[in-house]
Amino acid sequence: MTSNNPRLAATMAPPVMEARRWIAGKVFGADRPLINVSQAAPVDPPPDQMRQAMAKAVLQQDLVHLYGPDLGLPALRSELADSIARHYQGHVSAKNIAITSGCNQAFCAAIATLAGPGDEVILPVPWYFNHKMWLDMNGIATVPLTCGDDLVPDAGDAAALITARTRAIVLVTPNNPTGVEYPPTVIAAFGDLARRHGIALIIDETYRDFHSRPGAPHDLFGDPQWDDTVIHLYSFSKSFRLTGHRVGAMATSPARLSEVEKFIDTVTICPAQLGQHAALWGLRNLGDWLEGERRKILARGDAMRSGFAPLAERGWRLRGCGAYFAYVQHPFDLPSDELARALVDQCAVLALPGTMFTPEGDAAGASHLRIAYANSDETGIAEVLKRLATVRP
């Protein structure tokens, strides 16, 4: 039986799950094992000291096993607010913070407070596919914002897309899928644009902890009235390798959090307790460890850039590279959704096609691939590039 919900039926299949089906039943030789660069998530567990703290919480804190507050543990909300205030030199308190079941839920909850069927949300292209999927499921029109050659969106271009139905603009920086970091001046321009038009600026900084520049990547929180426009999203999944524990966060106005509370109570009742305790412990104890992780990821980005020359000689182009991602343009007369499948058989590389991040029929999407290199060390990245250089579709 097919879905009776036409919006759900029309929503694309989850891209990472779709990519996993491409390798189902396939056997890869020991001399050329599969290199999976399709998913932007750590494959290693949290650091041992955090796992020990989690085990202690499981054994000694009875409340870990019960429902908690809908908007998250008060101690975690306070600690994250202090962390954001320090990092951005801004005005943030616990009353601005909600803890969510992953950053995806934070986005869904934010949209639930902003828009309904027939409304519009502006997404720069290429976009994060789960954002587009949630809008589609809810009958909210996605308005594509084409970026320039540098893959950075322009606030002036966005202004031309705003209508009476526009409810929000979404920025993801460092960007998924391109890895590009949006300059502070660009982010400020979008903040000003959103405020002038009375719409929200949703800024998703899931990969903030792997930004190439230390310190604050923007000054939105420096405005004492930031929460009348800005909705900030964050994730502990990448920073502390807590992907399976689903711990994300939102920073916004207390009034909006009253609406978010309704969403969370209906969908999950509360975020999972154990992951929240882990995130709290991490904020208090893993600053130096996280900086080491950041430097490791930055070194992998350097390896991607420095090793790309052989591919460039064959017509490939490295369009963006940062945080977890490289966004590459291929030189073949073959759409990227077909090329991505061919890579599995030709060179045992699993990557996602640009078509999963762009509007249907988009020519740029058909000519690009996303390579999520964060789980590959420098040797692994060199091997990916070597294999791609052999492709002859």
Cα(76)–Cα(281) distance, rounded to whole angstroms? Answer: 9
Nearest to 276 by CA among 288, 266, 264: 264
For residue range 124-135, what is the model confidence (pLDDT) as tens digits?
999 999 999 999
Q: Which positions ≥6 away from 282 have C-beta within 8 Å?
A: 46, 50, 236, 239, 240, 242, 290
Cα(123)–Cα(146) distance, rounded to whole angstroms? Answer: 9
Q: Beta strands 352-353 and 349-350: pairing type?
A: unpaired
Q: State mean pLDDT over 234-240.
A: 95
The confidence score (pLDDT) of residue 214 equals 86
In the predicted model, is pLDDT for residue 2 greater than 70?
Answer: no
CB contact at 8 A, 328 and 371: yes
The confidence score (pLDDT) of residue 133 equals 97
Q: φ, ψ for residue 228 (rounded to 5)?
A: -80, -10
How much of the chain, in percent, has pLDDT values that exceed 90? 95
For residue range 164-220, what is the model confidence (pLDDT) as tens digits?
999 999 999 999 999 999 999 999 999 999 999 999 999 999 999 999 998 899 999
Nearest to 251 by CA among 273, 265, 238, 235: 235
The confidence score (pLDDT) of residue 393 equals 72
The confidence score (pLDDT) of residue 43 equals 87
Is the backbone of residue 249 left (phi > 0), alpha (psi -120 to 50) or beta?
A: beta
For residue range 246-304, what is the model confidence (pLDDT) as tens digits?
999 999 999 999 999 999 999 999 999 999 999 999 999 999 999 999 999 999 999 99
In a 10 Å sphere around its CB, with 0-12 CB exposed, 13-18 middle and 19+ buried, how is residue 379 labelled?
Answer: exposed
How much of the chain, in percent, has pLDDT values that exceed 70? 99
Within 10 Å of residue 3's Cβ, how many Cβ atoms? 10
